[in-house]
Amino acid sequence: MVSGTALDQGTSRMTSTTTPSTGSRFIGTSNHGYCQHAQEELKRLFPEIRYTLLIPTEVFLFEVPVSAQEAVELIKQKEPMFLRHIQPVDFAWEGSRSDTDLDNLVQWLQQNVNFSAGEKIAVQVRKEERSQAAYTPFSVKQAIDGLLTSVYGAEPVVKEAERIISVYVTATKFYAGISRPKDNLSDWAGGAIRFHKNEEQISRAQFKLLEAEQRFELDFSSYHLALDIGAAPGGWTSLLLERGLRVTAIDPANMHPTLIQHPRLTFLKKNAGDVKLKKDEFDLLVCDMSWDPKQMARLVSDLLYAVKSGGTLIITVKLMHKKPFQTVRELLHMFGSELLLVKAKQLFHNREELTLYMLKQTDL
C-alpha cells in the first residue's frame, strides 16, 4: 500500500492513517440490492474481512489482512459474481468539506506517488449525494489533472489509461487510491459503464450484450453464425448483425420491422421448442429471456446440438427468487458436462439478473 496521511477536522495538522503493512483497504461496489451477495463472496476469499457500509445495499469499505497486491490477485483469480468494481484506499481522512481537501489530496500525491512524463492517467471521482462538500467531482478532477500536467507532464485521459487515480467522497470522509485499470475489475468509475444510445437502437437490452462483449473480452465480429433464442424485438440480434454475423433469431413474438428484411437474418417465428436446426451449425448462441431460469435452461439445452464444439454462449439468468448462488448451481447441474462456465457476472446493465459466459465442451 502507499502510505497516507489524514487531516484532523477543523485544523491544518496532518495525522497518519496508513493502513497496516499486513492489511489493505478497498471500496467495493455492486449493483443496487446485491451488496450482501458481493460481501458473502468476498468473505469466502478472506474469512477475516471487515466491512463498513457506505451506501446501503451498494457500496462498502472492506479491509483484508493481506497486502493490496495479494488481495487484488486473489479477487481477479476467483472473481466474485456480484462485485462490480473495487478501488484501493491508499489515503483517507476526515473531510473538511472545503477546498482544503483538494489541497491535501494534491499534496499527498506529490509526496507519495511518482508519475512519468507522457504517462496516461485517468482520474475517477465519485461523490455521495449526502456529501455537502463545496467542491464537485469535476473540480476534484481539475485539481489533479492540473498537477499531472504541470508537475509531471503526464497525460490526463478518460479511456485507455495506464493508471487510475480513484477518489471517493462521503459525507464525512475522503478516500483516494492508485491502481492499474484491470486491478479495479472495471476501468469505469464504480464499474458504471455507459454507452451512447443511438436513434436506430431497438432497445436498451443491447447494452447488456455490448457490456458482455467488453467485460468478457470477446469480439463478436470474429464469429460467423449466431443463434438468438427469445430474440424479439431484436436488440441483441441487431448488434450481432452490425458486427457482420449471420443470425438465426427465434421468437413467437414479432421482431422490429427494421430487421425483418435484413439479408443476414433468418427469423423463425416459433417457440424455441418447436424448431429443428442443423447439427453443429452455430459458433455463438445468445439468450436474453424474461423466463424462469430453469425453463430457459431447458430450452437452451434442447438446442445445444446446433452449437459447434468450442462454441460460445452468452446467457442472461433472471434472479426471480433472490437465490443467486443456488440458481447458478442448479443451472450448471442442468447443463451438465456439456457446457463449461467461463465466468458468471452481474453486469452494470443487468438488473435482477446475471450474465453467464459459457463454452460448449469439445466432443470427445
Annotated catalytic residue 318: yes
Q: Amino acid letter at 189?
A: A
Distance CA 232, CA 253 (A): 6
Let me know if 362 is exposed, middle or buried by CB neighbors in 10 A (0-12, 13-18, 19+).
Answer: exposed
Tell which residue, 319, 289, 298, 311, has the closest CA to residue 228: 289
CA distance 36 to 40: 6
Given 127, 208, 308, 318, the catalytic residue: 318
Cell of 276: 429443428
CA gap 338, 210 in Å, rounded: 26
Cβ-proximal residues to 159 (8 Å cutoff; 6+ apart), any chain: 122, 187
Q: Give the separation between CA 72 and CA 199, rounded to whole angstroms.
A: 40
Active site residues: 318
